[in-house]
Amino acid sequence: MAEAKAGRKTPDLAPSNSQGGSPVAAKARTQRSVLGHCLKKVTLTRPTFCHSCSDFIWGLVGFLCEVCNFMCHERCVKMLSSVCSCRTPSAIRVPVAHCLVPAGHKRRFCCVCRKQTEGNSALRCEVCELHVHADCAAFSCADCRRTHQDAALEQVKDTFHHHWREGSLGAAARCEVCRRSCGSSDVLVGVRCEWCGITTHAACCSSLPAGCALGRLRCMLLHPACVELTSRNFSRKQVYRITEDCSPDQDNSDDVDPSAALVSKDGQSAPAEAGKQSLRVFDGDDAFKRGSFRLVSLLRATTNEEVVEAALRAFYLPDEPQDYELLHIGCMQRLHGDDSLNHRGPNNRSSLKDAGSAWLLRAKPGDTEVIKVYAGWARTAETFVSILVSKVSTSKSVLTEVLVQLNVQDKDASRFSLMEVLMSSKQVLKQVLSPQEKILDKVQEIRKVSLRQMNQTRFYIVENVNQKVQVNLLIGELPPLLAKEEYSHLLQEHMAVKGHLVMVKEVYSSQGALALQISGFSEAERIYMLAKDTMVNNRMLTSLLVPQIQAERLASGVCPLLVFVNPKSGGLKGRELLHSFRKLLNPHQVFDITNGGPLAGLHTFREVPRFRVLVCGGDGTVGWVLGVLEAIRHHLVCREPPISIVPLGTGNDLARVLRWGSGYTSEDPHHILVSVDEAEEVLMDRWTILLDAQDISEDGRNNEFLEPPKIVQMNNYFGLGIDADLSLDFHLAREGEPDKFTSRLHNKGVYVKVGLQKISHSRSLHKELQLQVDNQKVPVPNIEGLIFLNIPSWGSGADLWGSEVDDHFRKPRIDDGLLEVVGVTGVVHMGQVQSGIRSGIRIAQGNYIRLTVSKAVPVQVDGEPWVQPPGHVIISAAGPKVRMLRKSKQKQRKASAGVKDGCSESPSSRDGGR
């Protein structure tokens, strides 16, 4: 989280039985203060587990932190290593904002208050394992994974460290050091590295090497040091291309919800107990304007210092109460000395009026402050110097003093600047201070606006580098097949781009897309937002922020995995896979294919010399990726990346042939990635189908041209007649009510229903077409459907060709350069093939097919159906064979083998399968 608040004292690390105040306060207050925890001995009334060692707390006594609800044994107090939520800002290495989205209904634990987050009010980070209540999100800070380098900041080449996240680990998790259990499904306990996946106790972390080896998936993971992205004010969702409809943003996720403050974590109202009074406390002017307060409940016989201390705990501030005061909003009346809640002043008025009265928590002004200045970006959290500032201290004088303390006073202070960084959970904001900026006034102004904001603010010394800003955008949905000059004219016409700041780096004319390099944040942000509201030829443009991969920094032997996920496939399973892969890998290598299509990912990986592709979706999604890859192949350094599949569709015939299964059944995503890494490469034929619609007269001459020829690519099979007719009816039903077609079982049920309606259908297809195979005329038997097979799987896994040996035909292979021509006599025959009772009618094999169709007929290519007018159909090989990944028959290495690779178990198994 963010750094400890500059210039305020932090609690002592040594145990203490009193912190000032009255004897009553000393007795009731915290008994021990360790790593920011305000630990108090409490009597347990229900079964409780230790948050440090995960063991059950036997007996009636435990130690509870009054700030973050941390609970532990008395014996564990001496060896605590997990800091309190009020001190987590100081542990941040590089501040990175979270990408918070609704968490759903899974049981997790809040990383701020450590209570359960089950329910609609919970949020989760789309990139790391942070889970938090909506009203606690404002007190979490920017401790997300660092997934890329900021090209606008100084780059420091140091050891790649583990990124530890506390909980939520399943009960089966084991410590990498002591091999004892370090997880629990009952409390927030144990830590896990979000890169390599190892788990350990918080106290055992120091025994592990500081460097992270990235674990079992290191050979397919895109290292953050290889990715550059300059984003500034772009939100985290824009950086990771997360669509708003998939993960609706909550604009108040960084604010304190006043209504949420009145509700306990179990969803029940939290009324004031008998003898207590509730106060509404604001932490600054900004919170008061927005009506965002925290509710503090205290006994009436409570001193001023205890009230201030309770208010500090409510806002997770690690400071001493004597440095703060409470002001009553309205009359700005102060609490003085040992005034209590029920004390009446000289005017016979209560010092803290009626229940629910509003108070403002303020820091007492001083003539001096002590601030921490961090020595450069991306250094360790301990690399800072403490500077005493007064009313005359400026940014320039602070820089000079910092250089002296760093023993680099020989360097010119004018070469450096002081940067203010706000590390909130939602966004990291950077501001370079002017040399004459009054630092004391700056600090006091921030505190006046928000004490929480000051607690999440750091100061950095950065070297002045005139590095050119370059923001990369991909603009899509433009008219296809235009020249570069025509695309530039369209941009100028619709968005008035500034030509001296915008450069067209790549033109994907077949896809109607442009890659722009923009030298300026303001222009980049303007084009990004304007493109989303611009329509060209009745099509709304798309705009994506894309990173730059530095291919020369990739380690030898690394073959990054490019992941495409169709969240609309497989019900909600596609969306969950998208979320899982973003956490297991670098989110910059995981793409939602419905947001910008496959082009966004392929463009990002265009300079990577060797990579693999994983497509999560149905056969149509796989065909989409293969089609775009074929169209832009000449733009890629790696022109033929091998492709693997996670089957999320209804039929999944290609996935069956390549052993990826008949459908995704909630398999562990980590195991999927291991299977992809161990898969073997195979070649597969692809075919081009030319559909030339013409009016064919009885004498065979072309009388009238109907429409221009259409060219489509085919990977699995091409069908005419009854097979395509069923697919067309199913397709129309799904388009009419798409919300009902989220289950694979339901989809197959609808398909069967459509088939039963056409069981008596008769068309005599053989009378409507003429077939030539390899320039030889082939007689067509009495059939209702004609299918051309490229793979030995059809209609959700049926073997249409059959396994019988026939001397007239070769055994089919996906790379033999031949198509199998098969016929079916009707719906009953198709049902028998699906049941395995019969096979289709073998007609021919060949690599060049020519059909002449005399009437309009339903056709379908890889499950995409339409009605084709009469004319000619020509099928031929589509250039080079494509490289696919086939799942290995060998069993995956056991978990014990994974220990040698730095990852003992998969994240899902450690998480108890939740």
Q: What digits encode the pLDDT tens for the residues 264-298? A: 444 444 555 566 788 899 999 999 998 889 988 88
Between 724 and 762, the higher pLDDT residue: 724
pLDDT band at 380 (very low <50, low <70, confident <90, very high): low
- Spatial distance between the Cα atoms of 857 and 851, rounded to a whole number of angstroms: 12
Let me know if residue 277 belongs to a domain: no
883 C-beta neighbours (distance < 10 Å), count: 15
Instruction: Determine contact, residues 374/460, Cβ cutoff 8 Å.
Output: yes
For tokens 């020829």, what's the residue?
709
What angle, 0 to 180 degrees and rounded to 10, lies between the N-to-C axes of helices 619-631 and 597-604? Answer: 50
Assign residue 595 the CATH number of its domain.
Answer: 3.40.50.10330
DSSP label of 306:
H
pLDDT for the residue numbered 90: 82
Quick: pLDDT tens for 230-256: 887 788 899 999 886 544 444 444 444
User: 152 falls in which pLDDT band (50, 70, 90)?
Assistant: low
| pLDDT given for residue 910 in this prediction | 44
CA proximity to 38, closest of 54, 52, 19: 19
Q: Mean pLDDT over residues 17-28, rounded?
A: 38
CB atoms < 10 A from the CB of 214, how many? 22
The number of C-alpha atoms within 13 Å of 790 and in the hemisphere containing its C-beta is 29
* 209 backbone dihedrals φ, ψ, rounded to 5°: -60, 145
Considering its fold, how many domains does the chain have in total?
A: 4
Distance CA 193, CA 213 (A): 11
Q: Label residue 581 by pLDDT band (50, 70, 90).
A: very high
Mean of the pLDDT values across residues 776-791? Answer: 93
Region 565-569 average pLDDT: 88
pTM, to two decimals: 0.86
pLDDT higher than 50, residue 177: yes
CB atoms within 10 A of CB 78: 9
Please report which confidence band the pLDDT of residue 886 belongs to, taking 50, 70 and 90 as the band edges: very high
Mean predicted confidence (pLDDT) in 308-315: 91
Q: Is 496 found in the same domain as 617? A: no
**CA gyration radius, the chain:** 33
Q: What is the mean pLDDT of residues 373-397?
A: 83
- Distance CA(775)–CA(771), nearest Å, equals 9
Which DSSP symbol is given to 794? Answer: B
Closest CA to 442 of 462, 461, 424, 422: 422
3-class DSSP assignment, residue 819: strand
At residue 61, the pLDDT reads: 85
Q: What is the CATH number of the domain that holds 846?
A: 2.60.200.40
The total of other beta-carbon atoms located within 10 Å of residue 589's CB is 25
Q: What is d(CA 213, CA 217) in angstroms, rounded to the nearest whole number?
A: 10
Question: Per DSSP, which regions of 482-637 are E strands?
Answer: 502-508, 513-518, 535-536, 539-540, 542-545, 548-549, 561-565, 590-592, 612-617
> How far are the Cα atoms of 41, 284, 322 from residue 77, in angstroms, in the given order?
11, 34, 26
Report the pLDDT averaged over residues 650-668: 90
Q: Identify whether residues 763 and 868 lie together within a single domain.
A: yes
In a domain, residue 620? The reply is yes
Q: How many CB atoms lie within 10 A of CB 572?
A: 11
What average pLDDT does range 432-461 have in this prediction? 92
- The answer on 877 and 777 residing in a single domain is yes
Q: Diameter of the chain by CA atoms? A: 114
Six-digit token string for 306: 């205890």
- What pLDDT is attached to residue 120? 67
Q: What is the mean pLDDT of residues 788-816?
A: 89
Looking at the structure, tell me whether residues 780 and 753 fall in a common domain: yes
* Mean pLDDT score, 448-452: 92
Q: What percent of the chain has pLDDT over 90?
A: 44
Q: Is residue 59 part of a domain?
A: no
In whole angstroms, give the CA distance from residue 630 to residue 878: 10
- CATH code, domain with 523: 3.30.70.330
Give a yes or no: residue 157 inside a domain: no
In a domain, 350, yes or no: no
DSSP state for residue 881 in the 8-state scheme: P
Residue 529 backbone dihedrals phi, psi, to 5 degrees: -75, -40
* Domain match, 838 and 876 both: yes
Asked whether the beta carbons of 625 and 613 are under 8 A apart, the reply is: yes
Instruction: Spell out the alpha helix ranges (H) of 739-849.
Output: 744-757, 827-835
726 and 588 in one domain?
A: no
- b/e per residue 602-636 (b: at least 16 CB within 10 A): bbbbbebeebbbbbbbbbbbbbbbbbbbbbbeebb
Structure tokens at 65: 């932190």
Binning pLDDT at 50, 70 and 90, where does residue 893 land? very low
Task: Of 204-208, 588-592, 670-674, give the lowest mean pLDDT range.
Answer: 204-208
Angle between helices 744-757 and 827-835 (to 10 degrees): 140
Are 826 and 765 spatial neighbours (Cβ–Cβ below 8 Å)?
no
Query: Do 669 and 740 sit in the same domain of this protein?
Result: no
Which residue, 549, 576, 601, sits at the end of a domain? Answer: 549
CA–CA dist 364, 381 (Å, integer): 28
Amino acid, single-letter form, for residue 126: E
DSSP 217: G
For 513-555, the three-class secondary structure string (H helix, E strand, C coil) is EEEEEECCHHHHHHHHHHHCCCEECCEECEEEECCEECHHHCC
Same domain, 556 and 648: yes
Give residue-wise pLDDT tens across range 452-504. 999 899 999 888 877 778 899 999 999 999 999 999 999 999 998 888 899 99
Same domain? For 477 and 517 the reply is yes
Strand ranges, E, within 648-684:
680-684
Does 545 lie in the same domain as 559? no
Q: Is 563 left (phi over 0), alpha (psi -120 to 50) or beta?
A: beta
Asked whether the predicted pLDDT for residue 655 surpasses 90, the reply is yes
Residue 95 or residue 344, greater confidence: 95
Provide, rounded to the nearest whole percent, the portion of the chain with pLDDT above 70: 80
Kindly report whether the peptide bond that precedes residue 253 is cis, defined as omega within 30 degrees of 0. Answer: no
pLDDT of residue 185: 84
Instruction: Tell me whether strands 164-166 and 191-193 are parallel, antiparallel or unpaired.
Output: antiparallel
pLDDT of residue 169: 83
Sign of CA dihedral 518, 519, 525, 527: negative
**Average pLDDT taken over every residue of the chain:** 82
CATH number at residue 391: 3.10.20.90
Q: Is residue 202 part of a domain?
A: no
Determine the structural domain holding residue 875 and report its residue range. 688-695+708-886
DSSP letter at 38 equals E
- Confidence check: pLDDT of 193 > 90: yes
Contact present, 803 and 809 (Cβ < 8 Å)? no
For residue 829, what are the CA distances in angstroms to 84, 580, 772, 840? 69, 42, 24, 8
| 586 vs 77: which has the higher pLDDT | 586
Q: What is the pLDDT of residue 805?
A: 82
Q: Is residue 488 part of a domain?
A: yes
Are 491 and 570 within one domain? no
Encoding tokens for residue 690? 């030319």
Same structural domain, 540 and 557:
no
Residue 194 included in any domain = no
User: How confident is the model at residue 273, as a pLDDT?
Assistant: 59
